[in-house]
Chains A and B, each alone.
Chain A
């Protein structure tokens, strides 16, 4: 059983640019959630995707958008990058049927905006 994977590991972008982060969910999981973790803070919920539809969103502006594909992998897109977007971006996969309440996190993508 493969775990959650994310790419790239690290990324450096300039303010105003756009970025796409990728996540492959754990085998058997159909739900992907994205979180932003600023340095020294707990992760904050961005949004969740279930069966290719957005299924809930946290307090993040529309320039944060996402996709989920038929194989349950997912992308997080951020437009018009701001310095405050610098953070560790985590995705977590889950399946109510196979893992109940539990979510499993990937290693994260460290985004630095200069």
Chain B
């Protein structure tokens, strides 16, 4: 069974601060996806990382996939209140497990003005 440990579970920061969310596993994933979810809505895909060591930037968000494809991180620079939400990482095992995502527990981020 593949598991993803996401940390921290809760993050409460002031506007302008930086933060990092971590996603770790003992399993190898063929790809890892990061989602953001608002209350009562479905997760919205932010980015997919596929190659070990890959770094992707989306404005103030930087995503990294570990060299061994077992872990990932999301770094937000100069957080804004609009970044508030639930952030989820999800790993795709690939092969016969293609598309069957294993999710972390999520990180609830609150950015105070």
Interface of A toward B, CB cutoff 8 Å:
4, 6, 31, 33, 35, 40-45, 48, 56, 58, 88, 90, 92, 94, 96, 100-108, 110
Contacts and interface: CB of A to CB of B under 8 A. Distances in A.
Contacts of A31: 99
A48 B100 contact: yes
A43 B105 contact: no
Interface of B: 4, 6, 30-31, 33, 35, 40-45, 48, 50, 88, 90, 92, 96-106
Given A41-B106, A102-B33, A58 B100 contact: yes
A106 B98 CA distance: 19
Contact of A41 (B44, B96, B105): B105
A105 B99 contact: no
A96 B34 CA distance: 18
B112 to A, nearest CB: 21
* Interface-central residue, A31, A42, A90, by most chain B CB under 10 Å: A42
Contact of B45 (A33, A103, A110): A103
A42 B92 contact: no
Nearest to A95: B99
Given A58-B100, A101-B31, A101-B50, A108 B41 contact: yes
